[in-house]
A and B are shown apart, each in its own frame.
Chain A
Amino acid sequence: MTFEVIRQQLPLFEEDGRAAATDDERGRDLHYLPDLPEEDPYAAGHRTCAGCGPAIQYRWVLKAAGQDTVVAGPTGCMYVANSTYLCTPYTVPWAHTPIASGGSFTSGVAAGYEAMIRKGRYPGPYPNIVVMAGDGSAADIGIGSISGALYRNHDALFVCYDNECYANTGIQTSPTTPYAGMTTFTPFGKAIPEGKKLPPKNLAKMMAEGHPHCYVATTTVGYPVDLMNKTRKGLNHVGAAFLHCYTPCQKGWVYQTSMTVELGRRVVESGLWPVWEYDPQERTYRYFHPPVQRPVTDYLAMQGRFGHMLPEHVAVTQVGANRNWETIGMEVPRVLRDLEDPARHQRLADEEYSMPINRGVGA
């Protein structure tokens, strides 16, 4: 005899025209979300930076998850900036975990609730179990523990809030830092003019391909309804789900603080962050096709971390973006194809339409 484990089913938000909101006036209006829950399990009063992308993501994810939720947070900027002893922004149970333990600690929580409910120890329904790990935790030191958790298929949502660097420790490169992204471990100089020489890990694809029974999705803070619905789909999915969310870091990327959400759209519109959903039943990817396609300079020029890029570096990034367009099944317009040629570029700092670039070091 065992007790039944009752799982929550969260309704999805109306998505039509909102998840894929365009860059025009009408599209932007669709981002106002009067039907979203009022409750904020991630309450105000934390210490994140102005314009913090991860804080926006934390808020949307926990709004979508609701109060019957247990949250874990491995070490990262969102540990240090959010929790202050004797003071907490969480109105749901939350636990810090070591940086490599995001997947494993959460596995323990999920297993604990499965067993406790089944054995009559815990009277409630199975809680929504969410871990939000930074890219350092999810793509680097703790990737094994998250992969283990996905493989074991614990009923939990594993989120990577990706600010493309180790921000908390002063902006060091992580495996998701883009090519030519300047960090304090990949500074640019005469010998290494591009800063970071390596292309980033494709974390979400790795998780989807490597754990084909899991619900895996990518999103950005530019698409709140999409972010919240993917959160809920991940939670509703019985088993493990992985959500990779693009979350700009003002401190590390050096941009105007009001541009966080704008970056969340431009990164998609420039082909550098494919937004997709992987369906474990069909074993297929559903790619979001943004209504606008831009050259990568529209995105790069907004950020100080790319300000040192030379024409050949920009071209490399454009090549990567164009391959992404092809991967997600979109036509690469002639103009973007031409931009694969370094001769078509100038130094990024000289881009006339760029936002003011702060050339100070990231940290």
Chain B
Amino acid sequence: MTTVHADIGQPPRLARAIRTPEGERFLNGIAGTRVRQNGCAAAAYAALYANVDVVTAYPIRPYTAIMMNLAQFIADGILDAEYIHADGEHSQFSAAFGAGSCGARAYTGSSGVGVTYGYEMYSIISGARIPIQMAIADRTLDPPGDFGSEHTDALCTRDMGWLMGWAATPQEVFDKSLLAYAIGEDPRVLLPQMVVQDGYFVSHIAGEVEMPPAELVDDFLPPYQLPFPLNPMRPVSHGAQIHPEQGPPLQLERARAMEDAIGVIRAKTDEFGRVFGRTYPHFVESYRLEDAEIAIVISGGHAVTCRAAVRRLRERGVKIGMARLLWVRPFPGDDLREALRGVKAVGVVETNLGLGGASYGGILSLDVTTALYHQAGERPLVTSFMAGLGGETVPMAEFDWMAGKLGQAIERGRVEKAAHWVGFEEAVLASGGRPPQTPPMEAR
């Protein structure tokens, strides 16, 4: 799918950005080592390897540490980049947009209400097809103030045309940041990317991250070449006013770019595995799903606990598995259906809030349910579990409880509710209070 309307010929090729001598020395020094670092540091190291040209920052916990790391790289002369202290997230994303529009590789990020403060920019940046990258370390939206992780901040923006995926470990943050640049900057895609990690669970807990030789990254991630930069040598106009009838084709193109990203994600993920030796599934991590009757669909850092819970339940003879979504946009319907083939009941862990939606609980189950609805033949039962809200952990016992609910659903041939508020139902009943009422779902 071509993304350029007028034939403006070959754009000026921009050379690869040089690194500073300090940067070369630093990267040579760490190449091949395994560094203990948290998700924020991993994101900053990925931006350093990507040799970003412009960093735009505005403080908000917990993603701030990414920008602190980058500021230090620049102060130490390890990274040569312009560092913009923006006056708010709206400006922060606008500045990254401006930098990306003239051909510079731009890096930005945010958390929680910072993500929503800059909301205007999401559609504008993806519609302009400027593939900047934004790191998000999840944080619960106000009110009241809460530092804890909840996926609602990023998921609010899910339909704005950005590639979006969660990383569950610092290593994955590092890898996904490089991968996302490579996918987003691919001329078949040209879409901005959100590399999301759970606040604190990933952003502030250290894991080992393998530091590759810089040359490998340079090979994997060629210099950013926007086909239509704001360049006086080849003038173009960006974002001219349109008439209503000119809208649909532009929207269709953006939608197709998102669809086309699916193939590019597959190809680049495979290439990443070949280059760096770490292979990832394209879209969905299938864990113990081969003969599973019930499955948890999950995204982000809570998958680590979920895996352990699945292991333990398997030891007790429960036929359970886990499907972890590595990308939420584009949503991997085919891969999810494939992963869940033969599963009888699916529970979506919703670490987010979708107030008043069809699931009466979270956001993710809407996509999961739609994807499964389009399955030929028998469809699994689907329910969702509101868990880990406000930054709460999702302990093993809660996964056990979820497995119980899914088992019951199979026995009864129907799910009890569209959404379960995990940890509330029994406790609230015991205290004589009113449990959250969600409409029962008819058996399919």
Contacts and interface: CB of A to CB of B under 8 A. Distances in A.
B97 interface: yes
Given A67-B232, A88-B237, A112-B99, A107 B90 contact: no
Given A111-B99, A121-B14, A122-B103, A85 B240 contact: yes
A108 B235 contact: no
Interface stretch (B62-70, B190-198, B241-249, B391-399): B241-249
B84 interface: yes
Interface in B1-37: 5-6, 14-18, 20-21
Nearest to A115: B53
Contacts of A108: 54, 56, 84, 94-102, 104, 106
B53 A147 contact: no
Chain A at the B interface: mostly helix, strand, loop or mixed? mixed
Contacts of A3: 18
A111 B82 contact: yes
B317 interface: no
Given A93-B230, A112-B82, A103 B91 contact: yes
A48 to B, nearest CB: 13
A2 B80 CA distance: 9
A109 B91 contact: no
Interface string B194-236: 0000000000000000000000000000010000011111111
B232 A68 contact: yes
Nearest to A70: B230
Contact of A106 (B53, B92, B98, B233): B98
Interface in A4-25: none
Contacts of A119: 17-18, 51, 53, 80
B81 interface: yes
A90 B94 contact: no
A152 B92 CA distance: 13
A109 B6 contact: no
Q: How large is the interface on B (under 10, 10 to 19, 20 to 34, 35 or more residues)?
A: 35 or more
B18 A85 contact: no
Interface stretch (A76-84, A207-215, A270-278, A348-356): A76-84
Interface residues of A, number: 55
A104 B230 contact: no
Given A101-B97, A108-B98, A148-B87, A121 B239 contact: no
B273 interface: no
B90 A122 contact: no
Contacts of A72: 98
B302 to A, nearest CB: 35
Contacts of B17: 115-116, 119-121
B120 interface: yes
B96 A93 contact: no
Contacts of B94: 97-98, 100-101, 104-105, 108, 145
A342 interface: no
A93 B103 CA distance: 12
B85 interface: yes
B95 A116 contact: no
6 contacts: A93-B235, A98-B94, A98-B120, A101-B98, A112-B102, A116-B103
Given A98-B90, A145-B94, 18 more contacts: A83-B239, A86-B5, A87-B240, A94-B237, A97-B94, A98-B94, A101-B97, A103-B91, A107-B86, A107-B95, A111-B98, A112-B104, A115-B17, A116-B104, A121-B16, A144-B87, A145-B90, A145-B91
Interface of A: 1-3, 67-70, 72, 79-80, 83-88, 90-98, 100-101, 103-116, 118-124, 127, 144-145, 147-148, 151-152
Which 9 pairs across A and B sit closest by C-beta, in order of nearness? A108-B98, A96-B239, A112-B104, A148-B87, A104-B91, A111-B82, A83-B240, A101-B94, A104-B94
Interface of B: 5-6, 14-18, 20-21, 51, 53-54, 56, 80-82, 84-88, 90-92, 94-104, 106, 120-121, 124, 223, 229-243, 246
